[in-house]
């Protein structure tokens, strides 16, 4: 599902439909990641499930990349604080 969302956002960027790209990124982050994935993972996180941590970290990293063009300072700060990569978020591969 995440890969499909990234492809859809990419199509919107290529058509210069930035408002649609932003809406899609926000919708996925808020309604899918925060409301569904994160809520479902809470029990697994309490049990220190390494796979749950890895899954959430991976999805969060990709969400930050998707949201970065719209909120660069916030996403960069979160990315650096959580140490999700070795370089700046703005130079990470899409």
In tens, the pLDDT along 35-94 reads 999 988 888 888 888 888 999 999 999 999 999 999 999 999 999 998 887 889 988 887
As a whole number of angstroms, the distance between CA 92 and CA 5 comes to 18
85 vs 16: which has the higher pLDDT: 16
Specify the pLDDT at position 16: 98
| Tokens read off for 62 | 């990709």
Give residue limits of the domains in the chain.
2-91
What is the spatial distance between Cα 89 and Cα 94, in angstroms, rounded to a whole number?
A: 10
Position 50 scores a pLDDT of: 87
d(CA 66, CA 87): 16
Q: 3-state DSSP helix/strand/coil percent for the chain, to nearest 5? A: 80, 0, 20
């Amino acid at each position: 599902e995440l890969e499909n969302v990234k492809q859809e956002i990419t199509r919107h960027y290529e058509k210069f439909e930035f408002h649609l790209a932003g809406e899609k990124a926000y919708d996925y982050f808020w309604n899918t990641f925060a409301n569904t994935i994160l809520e479902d993972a809470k029990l697994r996180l309490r049990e220190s499930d390494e796979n749950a941590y890895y899954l959430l970290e991976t999805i969060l990293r990709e969400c930050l990349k998707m949201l970065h063009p719209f909120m660069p300072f916030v996403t960069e700060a979160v990315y650096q604080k959580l140490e999700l990569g070795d370089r700046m978020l703005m130079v990470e591969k899409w």
